[in-house]
Structure 1
């Protein structure tokens, strides 16, 4: 069945499901057939992590049935690792011993990744060795990069002693992949696009869902119910302030983007896994998937329309509603 599909349909299928969208038709079909039936976990527990020593953010979401809109927010937090696991006086230093960093990584794994709540999937944001346009690696960037890899090592070690986590994958991701999934493939490139503007768009995407439940891919009422009733009418700056003031985090964040990204990473992965599961019967029954991809496109356009309207973006011609 997949061999009969147009290349454009296979491309859309790959983008919605997170499959490789490169290679010839045979390679794409092979990737889809190999990966599609690897997803069978219901319900889905997804843990997403945004690395930072002073601003470590994470979200644990339970998706109750797939496909389904209802979620359970098990934990969502912003943590200063020095204050929780290490030495508060280390907050003023960028020269930390590797043994100290290893201690932080082990405690992150033991007290955040492991526990009674067992994830089906762990997502961890990849750390760059450069920050924006800097030619040198800044000390704080190097610390985050080191912590990331120590967490991978500590988690791999714990998998040998914690049977429930033995088969839990931990997957690297980044904001570029996430923004490509949610927006870039549907929206024309904007000349305003910078790292700062991208962060505004990501926050605007989530705020749009919190303001209008009909535009959201999942039920976020557990979050939106804590926001002011007139949140939708606020300016962007006031929304950020209200968003941060409406939740109790271990460490008060100075900005919203890490917490926003955690949720967007999490929900994006759910959407991809959900699409895997929706695709399975089409392949089993040898059904045409073009209609399925078209339906996914229409739903996705509805998800991003609020932020497109708010920031005066333009849909690509093929996706214009």
Structure 2
């Protein structure tokens, strides 16, 4: 269903709706309409793969924060068409290489690693409807120490994308694969008018997750609920703010040598994977609302105001 280019909504409203839906690239009114029009129910792009999650309306997401020594992921689901909390089934950080693997950093080695990690371990274990992967940096800010690791992680990301797409296509699996820029996620949660350093932005994201964990631990109404399997991480975010993790680790039954999920000293990686997954689920809910409003010719200004107010309430900015 085409949306008239003469819609009364202002460019500001359309940009606001695009941000709330996790859509980027719209700098003009026409560009924003191009982003939002496919959300209408009759548009082919609005029809998702049949969900594997057995509960109607719920989508299960495997949200990945890319890394090699600091690979983290969250498994969560939520109803993408109705209000309600997201539920976190699992939440881990992994070191996916051992000392021997570290010297074999070739495209073939990364492809084998991606196959073992996703095809042989994560997909069978969790059966996600969607795999959301954090896009990697392409700039290093002239920091020499970042160049090698940026190259390595970008190579790993490419291997994962290739392995996943081939596996899903060959098997005909109803799994969507999406890449999300961390800038899009941060723009969704942080005030656009506030200029933050990288460290301040990272802390703000951690604080959002800390708020969810604290509310859940205190048995207050929470936007995110956690399974008993992730109780240690919830306790860490809710209470241990500046302590570093001990040397203890938990072995993961995976074909990857020495892959471990540890009580985390670097909690920002864990925060990023969860924040990205929750963002994706909320974007689907907002996209459904925007698509329905576009199809019905409803007041987009009123919708943008309502969705923005709901979102600000989640971050304590209401």
- Report the TM-score when normalising by structure 1: 0.77
Residue 198 of structure 1 corresponds to 201
Deviation of residue 153 (structure 1)? 1.3
Asked if structure 2 preserves the Cα contact closer than 8 Å seen for 1:64 and 1:72, the reply is no
Q: Distance in 2 between matches of 1:273 and 1:30?
A: 17
Residue 24 of structure 1 corresponds to 28
Asked if structure 2 preserves the Cα contact closer than 8 Å seen for 1:56 and 1:81, the reply is yes
Deviation of residue 117 (structure 1)? 4.1
**1:174 aligned onto 2:181:** yes
> Secondary structure of the equivalent of 1:160?
helix
Counting helix residues as a fraction of each chain, which structure ranks higher?
1
**1:257 aligned onto 2:242:** no
Residue 71 of structure 2 corresponds to 56
Deviation of residue 159 (structure 1)? 2.1
Asked if structure 1 preserves the Cα contact closer than 8 Å seen for 2:62 and 2:73, the reply is yes
Residue 188 of structure 1 corresponds to 194
Deviation of residue 23 (structure 1)? 4.0
**1:219 aligned onto 2:233:** no
Residue 309 of structure 1 corresponds to none
Q: Distance in 1 between matches of 2:294 and 2:83?
A: 21
> Secondary structure of the equivalent of 1:59?
strand
> Secondary structure of the equivalent of 1:115?
helix
> Which of 117, 126, 130 in structure 2 is aligned with 1:121?
130
Which runs of 5 or more residues in structure 1 are unaligned?
Answer: 306-319
> Secondary structure of the equivalent of 1:68?
coil
> Which of 106, 120, 143 in structure 2 is aligned with 1:111?
120
Q: Distance in 2 between matches of 1:108 and 1:7?
A: 43
Deviation of residue 296 (structure 1)? 1.4
Residue 134 of structure 1 corresponds to 143
Paired positions, count: 292
Residue 52 of structure 2 corresponds to none
Equivalence map 1:297-308=2 (5 Å): 297-305=308-316
Counting strand residues as a fraction of each chain, which structure ranks higher?
2
